[in-house]
């Protein structure tokens, strides 16, 4: 099973950008679907977007589509999530996870998850 | 606010059976399968139930999932102190074209 290791915590100023990495080990990186989910303090989970490596497709949640960019580096088996124009409301733990898609997205699930990356936005 | 609705908290005593509800709509739970994730304090979520009622390897059969119409439920029987955790439901939403989550339910074992 794939293992996902994320980059360390970040502190950013309002208006700046943050780039979080998610390195995959085990299995075939080219066949992964990696999804990004965030969790603000004391809040629920929120899907941000995903990259479907086998098709080269990237989908973004409508809420973030103009601020988030997901990319992948095949040479290092790493997926990146960059979020721009940060505000205090972006303070959250950001998780990557492998999305298992047996047939269609309607029946997919997330397993395993990375350990999470805390991003704090503060002046 | 979360698209799926869960109670903020539930509680039970050791050995008891508890259920956690997850309410959605025809565009998510009503037409797609439901997943449940367990999140122990300070840790990442972990898959608990997938495709509404399937348990991954290693998850005890004390945990079970079901769905009826636009609502889903997670049942935990033989409650143990180690079950004290946050539980999140999730489903694909056809209108939003992405997965949606509930706000999470904190289970306290008294």
Q: Cα–Cα distance between A4 and A25 in angstroms, integer?
A: 7
Q: Would the pLDDT of B67 be above 80?
A: yes
Contact criterion met (CB < 8 Å) for B99 and A108: yes
Q: Cα–Cα distance between B33 and B26 in angstroms, integer?
A: 12
pLDDT at A12: 98
pLDDT at A102: 80
SS3 of chain A: helix, strand, coil, percent, to 5: 5, 55, 40
Q: Cα–Cα distance between B6 and B23 in angstroms, integer?
A: 7
Any idea what the Cα angle at residue A120 is, between residues A46 and A65, rounded to 5°?
Answer: 40
Instruction: Please write the tens of the pLDDT for every residue from B19-36.
Output: 999 999 999 999 999 999
pLDDT at B75: 98
Instruction: Please write the tens of the pLDDT for every residue from A33-45.
Output: 999 999 999 999 9
Residues of B in contact with A111 (CB under 8 A): 46-47, 50, 56
Decide if B48 touches A, using CB distance below 8 A: no
Instruction: Please write the tens of the pLDDT for every residue from B39-63.
Output: 999 999 999 999 999 999 999 999 9
> Which residue positions in chain A have pLDDT lower than 50?
none
Residues of B in contact with A107 (CB under 8 A): 32-33, 51, 92
pLDDT at A10: 98
Q: Cα–Cα distance between A2 and B47 in angstroms, integer?
A: 14
């Amino acid at each position: 099973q794939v293992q996902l290791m994320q980059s360390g915590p970040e502190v950013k100023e309002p208006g700046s950008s943050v780039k979080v990495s998610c390195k995959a080990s085990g299995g075939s990186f080219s066949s992964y679907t990696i999804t990004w989910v965030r969790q603000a303090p004391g809040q629920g989970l929120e899907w941000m977007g995903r990259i479907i490596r086998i098709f080269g497709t990237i989908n973004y949640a409508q809420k973030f589509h103009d601020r988030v960019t997901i990319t992948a580096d095949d040479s290092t088996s790493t997926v990146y999530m960059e979020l721009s124009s940060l505000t205090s409301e972006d303070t959250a733990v950001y998780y990557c996870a492998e999305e298992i898609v047996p047939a269609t997205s309607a029946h997919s699930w997330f397993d395993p998850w990375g350990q999470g990356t805390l991003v704090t936005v503060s002046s | 606010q979360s698209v799926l609705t869960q109670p903020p908290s539930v509680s039970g005593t050791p050995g008891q059976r508890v259920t956690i509800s997850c309410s959605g709509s025809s565009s998510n739970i009503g037409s797609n399968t439901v997943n449940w994730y367990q999140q122990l304090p300070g840790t990442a979520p972990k898959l608990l139930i997938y495709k509404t009622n399937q348990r991954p390897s290693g998850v005890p059969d004390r945990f079970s999932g079901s769905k009826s119409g636009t609502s889903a439920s997670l049942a935990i029987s033989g409650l143990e102190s180690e079950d004290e955790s946050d539980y999140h439901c999730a489903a694909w939403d056809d209108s939003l074209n992405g997965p949606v989550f509930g706000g999470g339910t904190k289970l306290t074992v008294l």
